[in-house]
Every structure is written in C-alpha cells, then in structure tokens.
Amino acid sequence: MDVYYKENVATEKEIIKAIEEFSNQGVNLIFGHSSFYGKHFTDVAENYSHIQFVYFNGSYVAKNVTSFTFDTYAAGYFAGMLSGKMTVANKVSIIATYEWQSEIEGFFEGVKNVNPKAEIELAFLNDWNEVQTAQRIYQQMKSTGVDVFYPIGDTFSEEIIKYAKRDEVYAIGYRTNQAELAENTVLTSTVHHVEKLYEYAVEHVNDRKLTGQLKSFDFQDGAISLAPFSDQVPLSYQYEMNQAMEHYTNTGLLPEM
C-alpha cells in the first residue's frame, strides 16, 4: 500500500489541487484531519467517484464522503468520576473549547455520581488556539479553590498541566497520555487512538462500509481509553475505575448513582 500526504492544505484551491494530484497517483482513500475538510470534500466528491473521502468531526456526508468522530461522553464521565474522588476542596473544573464537546455532560454526570457535594466550574474558549485565555481562566478557577482541572483541548491542555504542576493541584490529560509532563499531577488522560480510525477506513475502503455515513468510535472500538493512573490515585479506586470501564466496554452501561 502506498501512502502519500500533504501538510498545511488550508484553502479551497489547495484542497482541490491536492485531491487532483492524489487522484492522478491512483489514490482511492483520502483523509482530511479536521472538520474543516467536510464541506470541501462534499463539494467535489461527485467528480471523484473512485475516491473515498474521510474527515473528522463534521456533519457533511455524501455517497463517497464519511465523517469519523469520537464519542467522548463516557471518557468525560470517567474523568469526572476520578476528579470527584480526588478533589480535596470539593471543587473541580472543565475548561472546554466548544459547547458541543460531549465530554462536558459526561464529566458533570461522572462527578455527581461519586461526589454529589462537589462544585463544578465550566468555561468555554470558543477557539482551539486561545491558549492565553485558557491560562487566564485557569488562574481564575484556581483562585476559587479548584484543585482538579480537565482541559479538553490539545492546543492548551499542556499549558494547564504545567500550571497545575506548579500549583500542586491535579489535572487530567487530553487526547494523548500526558503523564510525562507531570506524573504526580496528571491523574490520567482521556486518550483518542486516532490510528484505530485510520485502520478502520483502510480495512473497509472497498466494502461499502464507508459510504456516506457519520461513524462514531468509543471504548468498544478500542478508539478511546484512559491512560494508566498516576500513583496518586489509591489502588482501591484504580480497581473500581477499571471495573467500571470494563463493564462499560462490555455492556455500554455506565455506573449508576
């Protein structure tokens, strides 16, 4: 299998040029690693019926355009369970980018499952790149006594973890295992295994399973997991969390209050 790639393809003209080049090279599967590509793919898909287009986190579909997304409610739920258990001040927070991120509702439910008395602070950046805004929000939340932070944006989560390490409070990493940034600060990370989505697309490119659909991936698909727990998390609770995640993976059912 031959693999080609292009970086920094950001305009409609550049996208069309890249598609044409890939088509001439005999490519039959094109990934666009962002919701940005959805409309552009659907606009030209009819002209390239021999190519399956796949992009991430959008609602545009066509006969040969498929959207992949991570179903992150459960990831947020388990992050909330852990935050609710590990907070000393009974104050936790989630710094989100957009309201549609399904981790948010899951986080609230997970916290309340294990710690109904906990206060939950929530703030939105409305832009993936607002790192300075995220830092300012962190400082505001820290001043109110928040001692567990869940930043759900990979452009700013690292900065929040660095602040949390400095202030000796906890954080939960996002998208990748961020324990290496501060192993005593990062309780766990909600990990997105993007490679599983690529593998699925390559496996099914010729059997019609990619034809014009919104396809979501979760724990059951091996596409989402929690990274190994920090030693700061008591072994008894690590066991409880692992049991809950295994049960969810097998049944689709989250713990009830």
Q: What percent of the chain has pLDDT over 90?
A: 87
Domain regions of the chain by residue span: 12-70+193-221, 73-192+227-251
> What confidence score (pLDDT) does residue 231 get?
98
Residue 102 has pLDDT above 90, yes or no: yes
Quote the pTM value.
0.92
pLDDT digits (tens, 9 = 90+) for 139-181: 999 999 999 999 999 999 999 999 999 999 999 999 999 999 9
Q: Which two tokens stand for residue 241?
A: 């969390």
The band of 257, judged by pLDDT with boundaries at 50, 70 and 90, is low
Indicate the average pLDDT of the chain: 95
Read off the pLDDT of each residue in 117-133 and give the average, rounded to a whole number: 96
CA dist 157 and 177 (Å) reads 11
pLDDT of residue 5: 81
**Binning pLDDT at 50, 70 and 90, where does residue 209 land?**
confident
| Ramachandran assignment for 90, one of left (phi > 0), alpha (psi -120 to 50 degrees), beta (any other) | left
pLDDT for 243-256, tens place per residue?
999 999 999 999 98
Give the architecture-level CATH label for domain 73-192+227-251.
3-Layer(aba) Sandwich (3.40)
Q: State the Cα–Cα distance between residues 55 and 171, nearest whole angstrom.
A: 30
Q: Would you state the pLDDT for residue 208?
A: 72
Which secondary structure element, helix H or strand E, spans residue 39, and what is its range?
helix 37-44
- Whether the domain at 12-70+193-221 and the domain at 73-192+227-251 fall into the same CATH topology: yes
Residue type, 2: D
What local confidence, expressed as pLDDT, does residue 205 receive? 86
Domain 12-70+193-221 has CATH 3.30.70.20: no
Q: How confident is the model at residue 30 (pLDDT cuts 50, 70, 90)?
A: very high
Closest CA to 190 of 72, 15, 86: 72
Question: pLDDT tens-digit profile of 50-79?
Answer: 999 999 989 999 999 999 999 999 999 999
Q: What is the mean pLDDT of residues 27-34?
A: 93
- Nearest one of 81, 96, 93 to 146, comparing CA atoms: 93
CA dihedral 198, 191, 118, 146 (to 10 degrees): -120
What is d(CA 251, CA 254) in angstroms, rounded to the nearest whole number? 9
**CA distance linking residue 181 with residue 173, whole number of Å:** 9
Q: In the chain, pLDDT over 70 holds for what percent of residues?
A: 99
Q: Supply the pLDDT for residue 151.
A: 99
Mean pLDDT of 184-207: 93
Q: Are 160 and 139 in contact (CB under 8 A)?
A: no
Contact 104, 122 (CB under 8 A): yes
Query: CB of 75 within 8 A of CB of 103?
Result: yes
